[in-house]
Amino acid sequence: MHKLTTLALAAILCATTMSAAELTASDLDKRRKALNDLLGEQWEYVLRTNPEFASLLGDKRFNDKSSDISLAAIERDLTATRRFL
């Protein structure tokens, strides 16, 4: 019985390993692109909402702005951060 159980577990392990291997490169590429797009969107948000930080990094697009530290801006930032998470 022990030998049969071991054989069954080995068969299941092989089957799941093959299933994982069947993930196509295009599936992986799609997930990577989605993650990169999200990270890019979040990075642009950080630069846009923290123009002094952007300037410090050498990004001069927001040099005519300053950070909004109002309560409404803080609430918008919390909402946006939750959306990114």
Instruction: Determine the Cα–Cα distance for residues 28 and 33; give it in Å rounded to an integer.
Output: 9
pLDDT tens per residue, range 8-53: 566 677 666 655 556 688 899 999 999 999 999 999 999 999 999 9
Q: Which pLDDT value is given to residue 15?
A: 66
Q: Which pLDDT value is given to residue 74?
A: 97
Q: Where are the domains of the chain?
A: 30-85
User: pTM above 0.75?
Assistant: no
User: Measured between alpha carbons, how far is residue 36 from residues 12, 31, 39, 43, 84 in Å?
Assistant: 34, 9, 5, 10, 12
Q: Which pLDDT value is given to residue 84?
A: 92
Bigger pLDDT: 13 vs 54:
54
